[in-house]
Amino acid sequence: FSALGLWPDRNCAGPQYFATRGVASDAIRSGIDAARKFLGTPSNNQIFLYGSNQADAEYNAMTTALCNFLWGPSGSSMSRPSDCGERYKTHAKVMDRGLYEATESMACQCGEYTRQDVALVFIPAPTDALGEQWTIASHEYTHAVQKTFGGPVPDWLMEGGAVHGQCVFGTNRPEAY
């Protein structure tokens, strides 16, 4: 388990990556970077990359980091669900297909501002092509940007914007993906 900060100031900065062993993340990182070139980095979004069939200790560390990000440390004033993050751990162990999603956003106080933080969870299946991972990563990062601005957004508008973004960002997709 590793936490790799991309920015020196985590408190109001760009995404931070967390990854278990056994996940090839280059295509996902590249897809997110392509979306960031167009959309920017509006908040402290965090990205959780789960590898398949890892030891429970790997998943437990990821689940703790994810739940601390979304709900605060265990025992904090926020009411954390008792099964927080368990579905991701279970999915990564069973691995019948990949799972890519932007989670719910959480409002956080950042100095004098309130910002929305979003966790992105990526559990690529071993059979998911790198090009597919790249495209889905740019799509899901678009959702993180959309959710950062808060408020209810109709599904058609969320998906329409993200799919449109895939096309726009795809013009910068490296040949390797």
Tokens standing for residue 159: 């998906």
Instruction: Check residue 126 and give its pLDDT.
Output: 86
Which is higher by pLDDT, 33 or 94?
A: 33
| Confidence band of 149 (pLDDT split at 50, 70, 90) | confident
pLDDT bracket for residue 102 (50, 70, 90): confident
Q: Pick the most confident of 1-5, 70-74, 89-93.
A: 89-93
Query: What is the distance between the alpha carbons of residues 37 and 173, in angstroms, rounded to a whole number?
Result: 12
* 34-45 core/surface letters (b: 16 or more CB in 10 A; e: else): bbbeebebbbbb
Backbone angles phi, psi at 63, to 5 degrees: -60, -40
The residues spanned by each domain of the chain are: 2-170
Statement: residue 6 has pLDDT above 50: no
Please tell me the pTM assigned to this model. 0.81
Specify the pLDDT at position 11. 46
